[in-house]
Amino acid sequence: MWRESRRRKTTKAECVDTQVCEHLRRNLRRVRISSAIDFDESLSAGKLAARQIAVENLRCGELWLVVDAFGRIHTPITNLPKELRAYLTVDGKRLANVDVGEAQPLFLALFLRENARLQESKNLRNQGHPPAHPYDGQSMMDNRPQEEVDLDRTALPADLRRYLELCENRGFYQAVASKLNMHRADVKKRVLATLFDRPWRRNAISGVLGELFPAVVQNMREIKRGNYRRLAHTAQRIESAFMFGRVVPRIMAERPKMFVSTIHDSILTTAENAEYVRGVMLAEFARLGVTPQVQVEPC
């Protein structure tokens, strides 16, 4: 049984291409889940019931695909807790997840970098040079899939360069954690919450971010002015544009029969195809002028 809907009305530019949705829908039908699952009995009754329902829906073929207002795709697999992915198979084969390190800060870095590029373009235009393409997060969509970004990083503010480099090297959260004498895992959710929270709220995390990346934080506050959710929505649109405008269409063209399913900023595939997917993601990031850490995680 299929259920496809949108959480609220979207504009055409925000929608994922129909062929991409159809491809992901067909692939979702191929997923099977084991009949023998050991649930963690120490979970609360509510969490245990939610896991049991999620598993039962997959077993019974209660499948759905939802594209939200910001281009993210939600399926039973995106809702499945990470520890239960080990029980998934496709054509009898185990799966692996290809994950982008520090993806949300990285996509924000791309947005801030492009804003800087537009400012540079504006300055050049004032000097008689042609302007750059306007940037709204959709410039990574497949209308210009082969375009490569050539940006002189030395023209960026110093703290934006450092922010971008830390995201590429999976060091952004650690930089904040080190300032607070905390473990990386303990600050990750708190950092994301602070980045996307109301700009006037202050805490230890916001203080460290302001110290390490003053121009970046100021830029984010300006973006959130009037609607603090705008920054999170922008990051989600860029993530969607990258995944569904570049990565998935390339896989569809090169290996149309290969299983692929997305979990927001990561891709689930069979273990034998994981390195190929990793290579595609790295190549598409390279066309955008960045080299993040992309890891294969066996399910």
State the Cα–Cα distance between residues 48 and 54, nearest whole angstrom. 10
Return the exposure string of 54-63: e unless at least 16 CB atoms fall within 10 Å of the residue's CB, then b: bbebbeeeeb
State the Cα–Cα distance between residues 40 and 194, nearest whole angstrom. 31
Q: Which residues pair with 99 in a beta bridge?
A: 266, 295
Which stretch, 63-77, 185-199, 270-284, has highest mean pLDDT? Answer: 270-284
Residue 217: C-alpha distances to residues 125, 234, 246, 296 (Å): 27, 15, 29, 31
**Contact 184/172 with Cβ under 8 angstroms?**
no
Q: For residue range 171-213, list pLDDT tens digits in order.
A: 999 999 999 999 999 999 999 999 988 877 788 999 999 999 9
- State the Cα torsion 269-272-273-279 to the nearest 10°: 120
The residue type of 47 is: K
Gyration radius of the chain over CA positions? 20
State the Cα–Cα distance between residues 57 and 60, nearest whole angstrom. 5
Q: Report long-range pairs for 40-43 (Cβ below 8 Å, ≥24 apart).
A: 40/83
- What's the pLDDT score for residue 202? 83
Coil, strand or helix at 263: strand
State the Cα–Cα distance between residues 30 and 32, nearest whole angstrom. 7
What band does 63 get if pLDDT is binned at 50, 70 and 90?
A: confident
Q: For residue range 136-160, list pLDDT tens digits in order.
A: 444 444 444 444 555 577 878 899 9
